[in-house]
Amino acid sequence: MRLHEYQAKQVFADAGIPVPDSRLATTVEEVVEAVSEIGFPAAIKAQVHVGGRGKAGGIKIATDEEEARQYADEILGMDLKGYTVEKVLVESGVDFENELYVGITMDRGEGEPVAMVSTEGGVDIESVAEETPDAIAREHIDPAFGLHPYQARKVVYDAGIPRDVAGDVASILSTLYDLYESKDASEIEINPVMITADREVVAADAVMNIDEDALFRQPDLAEMEDEAAADELEAKANEYGFDYVRLSGNVGIIGNGAGLVMTTLDLVDYYGGEPANFLDIGGGAKAERVANALDMVFSDENVDAVVFNIFGGITRGDEVAKGINEALEQFDEIPKKVVVRLAGTNAEEGMEILNTDLVEVEATLEDAVQQAVENAQEAGQ
Amino acid sequence: MSIFVDDDTRVVVQGITGGEGKFHTEQMIEYGTNVVAGAVPGKGGQSVAGVPVYDTVDQAVEAEDADASVVFVPPAFAGDAVFEALDTDLDLVVAITEGIPTQDMAKVNKRLSETDTRLIGPNCPGIITPGEAKLGILPGNIFESGDVGLVSRSGTLTYQVVSNLTERDIGQTTAIGIGGDPIIGTSFVDALEAFEADTETKAVVMCGEIGGEDEEQAAKYIAENMDTPVAGFIAGRTAPPGKRMGHAGAIVSGSGTGTAESKIDALNDAGVPVGDTPNEVADYIEDFL
């Protein structure tokens, strides 16, 4: 779960990391009021989960009230790569001399966190990593001990951070690790850390991703998740407790187990269709959960046909079949054609129960997907 | 032959009194696994499915001479449960639990590196040596004893590929689900190494998915060290960057690392054919045998 910039900056500020003075605004008038308080220049920054906001026109610097009004009007309500901007962060412009990068992420290969510091801040750090890997200093962190103070200093000096601010940057890094650990972050990053003309360090941006598996012990952050939910259907999936990802195609996909659902998506693509979503109903799903899954996929207006693919281990084919029947029997007319393939535990019982007036049944994964792709092509015409 | 588990393996089930723990203990016993004990704090002295329950793993190992554990403990407590298992010098720990916080696993992983214990998982279906033993939740009836090894990051995808093999009367030596989390114990390379050393395994199926670089490392290992032929499958070709596809570990990074394409290319370069469909993987294996 990714926090918005304004949320992450609040977390940083609470921990003592210097951030620019800022206000959150949802209307043009609120933006005008905010700039009157914090002064000019002021940055107006769209709060959406989209990379490259600046290039896409989601960040503008206003030098007077008229500009602030104009930019607020432009940015609020604008569509940024499919996300509507509903909030902007109005932030005091920082007059800076240098931009640095400071971040901590999980190194999956090593199974431990790694701290990264670079003087090449303000640009995409992944492209720095690719083009000039030596420009990033790295230090692995033993999760049993945390980041030792000497390690924070070491990685800062290794990166060649100017000596007069090295102590401040090391201190920010130590605080970031405390947050990384205490808030169960999977990634935490400041890009850029700005060095001002007065040689002060300020966190000009803030990235914080939280491990979704740890939200049960991060109630404050879990509350932010609802605010951060972007898509109506994704919010609904949260409610039902499904792993769900919305895509842009027209073949709705329901299955059990992440790998098999991904494979079903891939096969839809392989047979010339376009997947509309990833929906994993999880293991051991009962009839109601099955009905909820169908409801989810039917509510997506892009979906023209559905494939339901279950390989039962702990999930039982008869339960799934019952759920499909119950969900579909309430319709006078089935909204979208559904192809079902059941295999594994109690699959035969399931096949007998399935009402074949309501669904098409296929014996193999490949056949089921091809049939659904055909159905979608016909319905889409 | 087989790898990691056989009919001599003596199992303690951590979390045996929970709904899943109890159900799958019954299933494991029915399959023929030697489940010798359960361990649940505060439930010592009880009995589940005819198996004595102890308060600690240590007591269970001491009393029943267990050498492996299966963990069905809920995610908030599962990291602690794995630590407990690691501190009793078991040969094997299989963690089924999905949803353990990554930072808990980082600490577990650190401890693991200091022990001789093998960890499989977490967030995995477990391991099965058909006809001998299963530790986990895999549906035993789809497996058949034979000479193909299988290692996979996903549970249900494993079932799909296994059924494609079994339908053709191609049985398995051992099948391992290594788990869909970012930090796991046994890796592809560990499993491949064991299959390569196993004289009865004549071919190996490896099912990977997007995220991380384990498949790329496996490809390198195969190219440099394996004589046993391997066929692959990679799930997640259509996954968009930045979205977690069910498994916590199944995510293509924003910068485009961990893609299916990179993994398929690496495997192909190592001489490993990668199926476009699960059934195609079975075709490759049939050709190998």
Counting the structural domains of chain B, the total is 2
Q: Cβ of A258 and B209 within 8 Å?
A: yes
Q: Least CB-CB distance to B153: which of A217, A259, A265? A: A259
Share of chain A above pLDDT 70, in %: 98
pLDDT for the residue numbered A239 = 85
Q: Is residue B48 domain-shared with residue B111, that is, in the same domain?
A: yes
Q: Least CB-CB distance to A247: which of B107, B233, B240? A: B240
- The answer to whether residue B130 is domain-embedded is no
Task: CATH number of the domain at B69, please.
Answer: 3.40.50.720
Asked if A184 is an interface residue toward chain B (Cβ–Cβ < 8 A), one would say yes
For A4-13, A258-267, A310-319, which range has the lowest pLDDT when averaged over its residues? A310-319
Average pLDDT over residues A25-47: 95
pLDDT for the residue numbered B1 = 63
- The answer to whether residue B74 is domain-embedded is yes
SS (HEC) of chain B: CCCCCCCCCEEEEECCCCHHHHHHHHHHHHHCCEEEEEECCCCCCCEECCEEEECCHHHHHHHHCCCEEEECCCHHHHHHHHHHHHCCCCCEEEECCCCCCHHHHHHHHHHHCCCCCEEECCCCCEEEECCCEEEECCCHHHCCEEEEEEEECCHHHHHHHHHHHHCCCCCEEEEEECCCCCCCCCCHHHHHHHHHHCCCCCEEEEEEECCCCHHHHHHHHHHHHCCCCEEEEEECCCCCCCCCCCCCCCCCCCCCCCCHHHHHHHHHHCCCCECCCHHHHHHHHHHHC
pLDDT for the residue numbered B273 = 98
- The answer to whether residue B131 is domain-embedded is no
pLDDT for the residue numbered A230 = 58
Q: Is residue B171 domain-shared with residue B282, that is, in the same domain?
A: yes
Question: Which DSSP helix (H) or strand (E) runs through A100?
Answer: strand A96-107
Domain spans of chain A, in order of start: 21-92, 96-223, 232-376
Q: Is residue B234 domain-shared with residue B115, that is, in the same domain?
A: no
Per-residue model confidence as pLDDT tens digits over A329-369: 988 888 899 999 999 888 899 999 999 999 999 999 999 99
Expressed as residue numbers, the domain containing B78 is 10-120
- The answer to whether residue B43 is domain-embedded is yes
pLDDT for the residue numbered A229 = 55
Per-residue model confidence as pLDDT tens digits over A39-56: 999 999 999 887 778 888
Cα(B75)–Cα(A166) distance, rounded to whole angstroms? 40
pLDDT for the residue numbered B115 = 96
Pick the residue of B102, B107, B110, B183 with the most A CBs within 10 A to test the interface with A by mutation. B102
Known catalytic residue at A101: yes
Per-residue model confidence as pLDDT tens digits over A87-99: 999 999 888 999 9
Return residues 33-92 of B near A (CB < 8 Å): 75-76
**Domain end point (choices B87, B120, B153):** B120
Per-residue model confidence as pLDDT tens digits over A124-150: 787 888 888 889 999 999 999 999 999
Q: Which residue numbers in chain B have pLDDT < 70?
A: 1, 254-256
Asked if A143 is an interface residue toward chain B (Cβ–Cβ < 8 A), one would say yes
Distance from CA of A64 to the nearest CA of B (A): 35
Q: Is residue B30 domain-shared with residue B69, that is, in the same domain?
A: yes
Q: Assess if CATH 3.30.70.20 describes domain A96-223.
A: no
Known catalytic residue at B247: yes
pLDDT for the residue numbered A16 = 97
ipTM over 0.90: yes
pLDDT for the residue numbered A226 = 60
Q: Which fold has domain A21-92?
A: Dna Ligase; domain 1 (3.30.1490)
If pLDDT is split at 50, 70 and 90, which confidence band does A12 have?
very high
Contacts of B142 in chain A (CB under 8 A): 344
Asked if A112 is an interface residue toward chain B (Cβ–Cβ < 8 A), one would say yes
pLDDT for the residue numbered A29 = 96
Asked if B282 is an interface residue toward chain A (Cβ–Cβ < 8 A), one would say no
Architecture, CATH, for domain A232-376: 3-Layer(aba) Sandwich (3.40)
Closest CA relative to residue B73, chosen from B39, B45, B107, B103: B39
pLDDT for the residue numbered B199 = 96
As a whole number, the mean pLDDT across chain A is: 92
Q: Is residue B176 domain-shared with residue B65, that is, in the same domain?
A: no
Q: Is residue B147 domain-shared with residue B252, that is, in the same domain?
A: yes
Task: CATH number of the domain at B190, please.
Answer: 3.40.50.261
